[in-house]
Amino acid sequence: MAFIEIEHLEKTYTSKSGDTEALKDVNFTIEKGEIFGVIGLSGAGKSTLVRCVNLLEKPSAGRVVIDGEDMLSLSERELRLKRRDIGMIFQHFNLLMQRTVLDNVCFPMEIAGMKKKEARVKALEYLEQVELADKAKAYPAQLSGGQKQRVAIARVLASRPRVLLCDEATSALDPQTTQSILQLLKHINEKYQITMIVITHEMRVVQQICDHVAVLEYGRIVESGRTKEVFDDPKTEAAKRLIYTHEYTELESEGSGI
Amino acid sequence: MQALGLEVLFKGKNLVRLLGGLGVALKISLISVLISISLGILLGLLMTRRNALIRLVLRVYLEIMRIMPQMVLLFLVFFGTTRALGWDLDGETSSVIVFSLWGTAEMSDLVRGAIISIPKHQYESAEALGLSRSQMYFYIILPQAVRRLIPLSINLITRMIKTTSLVLMIGVVEVIKVAQQIIEANRMASPNAAFGMYLTVFLLYFIACFPISVLARGLEKRWQ
């Protein structure tokens, strides 16, 4: 049995102006330790999809099963505990601005009831993992975007998650910083055997770290498979458009010497 | 001194009486402000709930408090309740009730505004970290909301202090009433006393409100 199973997932937003179907019959499975990419243009439903995995959004229908546990059957309290097992990082980092880097990493451990001293020791270890131990005393406002995302990653590691959801985690970063964050994600994926779902609109992100990829268009998965296979031989229009536009811009930027 | 009418200030216990009047004004404001802030935060949080009935009730309360002149409220509570309900409220108690009712309404709207201005990803991030609802508000939402609230609530507090000048209408002897009494008592000896006394009242209000502004600015700077 796969580690993460998404079955017939549907999400419909109801409003006065009518219903919007954000996700339509989405199915996929992810093996343990795998990095799974979901790619699509903005508005395709990527963010909704990843939020349905840790139930920040409640699916309208379907099943979300993680490690044999049906997420929708959990009580409020069980879900809260389970969420510590499913880390999430965002485009906007979402650090606590009035706390130091170290205290930010300590925060989830303290919430979970760990002693302050113990939490600090652990937090420093995780900061070392993301190569920011020297910034422990700094405040988020003093850091660059890439450093902030590293702090967010250290904070998420502190909950010792088995799953990590990355929602456009590199979209606010420049190409070089994106590279280093991707390497870091790959590193923690291997070191801690964390299963990852990576949501992005950037082809290179998928190309670099994802084992499998699903192409999402108008709330449906139109194509999925091993990253290399999808990239070498895209079958659907949507995938071709994403991949060829990417290659075109890639060539262009190489040509202009950027 | 003669032309400004300031000499009456130093006659007898006039200065002490004025300060006493200011004390009454500040006491009423301080109690009302404390009540308004705590209840205002509570109601403000309730106003962000999805429950339509709660929102409607609070909305109506807010609009009534906004539209009704504070003086009418004072009369309503001080005179109205005596006739209608047989309550014998003294002037100061009535004032505290009115200013708390008004302040709570205004404060709740400020709190509501500050809370809904917090971006959605802050809530999502808190939830994703496994925080409970109360932990989310306590650690994530309220600290950020408070920061946005400081300048707005300072404005409200100084407005409340200034508006306490109305309580003389229900017989509370606060700083303006004392000034009037002093002016009346010295009408013959110092005909210019009105200018000097009201100037003094202005300065007293300034001394009371200015430190609050300074404190607010300091807090804003420190939290940036």
- B104: which 2 tokens? 């709570």
**In the prediction, which pLDDT does A244 show?**
78
Mutate to test the interface with B, among A76, A111, A149 (most CBs of B within 10 A): A111
A79 with A26, same domain? Answer: yes
At which of A115, A140, A160 does a domain end? A160
Pairwise CB contact (< 8 Å): B124 & A87:
no
For chain B, what are the domain ranges?
Answer: 7-222
Instruction: At A26, give phi and psi (nearest 5°).
Output: -90, 125
Chain A residue numbers with beta carbons less than 8 Å from the beta carbon of B121 are 90-92, 94
Contact between residue B136 and residue A80 where contact means Cβ atoms under 8 Å apart? no
Chain B residue numbers with beta carbons less than 8 Å from the beta carbon of A107 are 129, 139
A167 with A97, same domain? Answer: no
A166 with A242, same domain? Answer: yes
Query: How many structural domains are present in chain A?
Result: 2
- Of the candidates B125, B131, B143, the beta carbon closest to that of A90 is on B125
Instruction: Give the whole-angstrom CA distance, residue A64 versus residue A110.
Output: 29
At which of A140, A160, A180 does a domain end? A160
**In the prediction, which pLDDT does A43 show?**
82
Q: Does residue B13 belong to the interface with chain A, where contact is any CB pair within 8 Å?
A: no
**In the prediction, which pLDDT does A135 show?**
92
pLDDT in tens, chain A (258 residues): 789 999 999 999 988 888 888 999 999 999 999 999 999 888 889 999 999 999 999 999 999 999 999 999 999 999 998 988 999 999 988 998 888 999 999 999 998 889 999 999 999 999 999 999 999 999 999 999 999 999 999 999 998 999 999 999 998 889 889 999 999 999 999 999 999 999 998 888 999 999 999 999 999 999 999 999 998 888 888 888 887 776 666 555 554 444
Q: How many residues does chain A have?
A: 258
Instruction: Give the whole-angstrom CA distance, residue A194 versus residue B70.
Output: 62
At which of A109, A127, A160 does a domain end? A160
A20 with A116, same domain? Answer: no
CA distances from A44 to A14, A217, A236, A241 (A): 17, 5, 15, 14
What is the domain range of residue A143? 93-160
Residue of chain A whose Cα is closest to the Cα of B122: A94
Instruction: Give the whole-angstrom CA distance, residue B210 versus residue B158.
Output: 9
Contact between residue A12 and residue A60 where contact means Cβ atoms under 8 Å apart? yes
**In the prediction, which pLDDT does B3 show?**
72
Contact between residue A197 and residue A229 where contact means Cβ atoms under 8 Å apart? no
Pairwise CB contact (< 8 Å): B131 & A80:
yes
**In the prediction, which pLDDT does A249 show?**
60
- A165: which 2 tokens? 């959801």
Biggest CA pair distance of chain B: 75
Instruction: Give the whole-angstrom CA distance, residue B206 versus residue B21.
Output: 15
Residue of chain B whose Cα is closest to the Cα of A78: B130
Does ipTM surpass 0.85 in this model? no
Which residue reads 């009433």 in tokens?
B177
Answer whether 0.90 is exceeded by the pTM. Answer: no
Instruction: At A20, give phi and psi (nearest 5°).
Output: -120, 125
Buried b (16+ CB within 10 A) or exposed e, B75-102: bebbeeeeeeeeeebebbbbbbbbbbbb
Instruction: At A60, give phi and psi (nearest 5°).
Output: -80, -30
A182 with A240, same domain? Answer: yes
- Of the candidates A91, A92, A98, the beta carbon closest to that of B223 is on A98
A8 with A67, same domain? Answer: yes
A80 with A98, same domain? Answer: no
**Complete DSSP assignment for chain A:** --SEEEEEEEEEEEETTEEEEEEEEEEEEE-TT-EEEEE--TTSSHHHHHHHHTTSS--SEEEEEETTEEGGG--HHHHHHHHTTEEEE-TT----TTS-HHHHHHHHHHHTT--HHHHHHHHHHHHHHTT-GGGTTS-GGGS-HHHHHHHHHHHHHHT--SEEEEESTTTTS-HHHHHHHHHHHHHHHHHH--EEEEEES-HHHHHHH-SEEEEEETTEEEEEEEHHHHHHS--SHHHHHHHHHHHHHHHHHHHTT-
Tell me the CB-side half-sphere exposure of residue A28, using CA atoms within 13 A: 24
Instruction: Give the whole-angstrom CA distance, residue B74 versus residue B80.
Output: 9
Neighbour count for residue B63 (Cβ, 10 Å): 12
A124 with A81, same domain? Answer: no
What is the overall mean pLDDT for chain B?
A: 89
A74 with A187, same domain? Answer: yes
A200 with A238, same domain? Answer: yes
Taking domain B7-222, whether its CATH number is 3.40.50.720 is answered by no
Instruction: At B216, give phi and psi (nearest 5°).
Output: -60, -45
Chain A residue numbers with beta carbons less than 8 Å from the beta carbon of B132 are 80
Enumerate residue ranges in chain B where pLDDT < 70: 1-2, 224
A181 with A242, same domain? Answer: yes
A76 with A172, same domain? Answer: yes
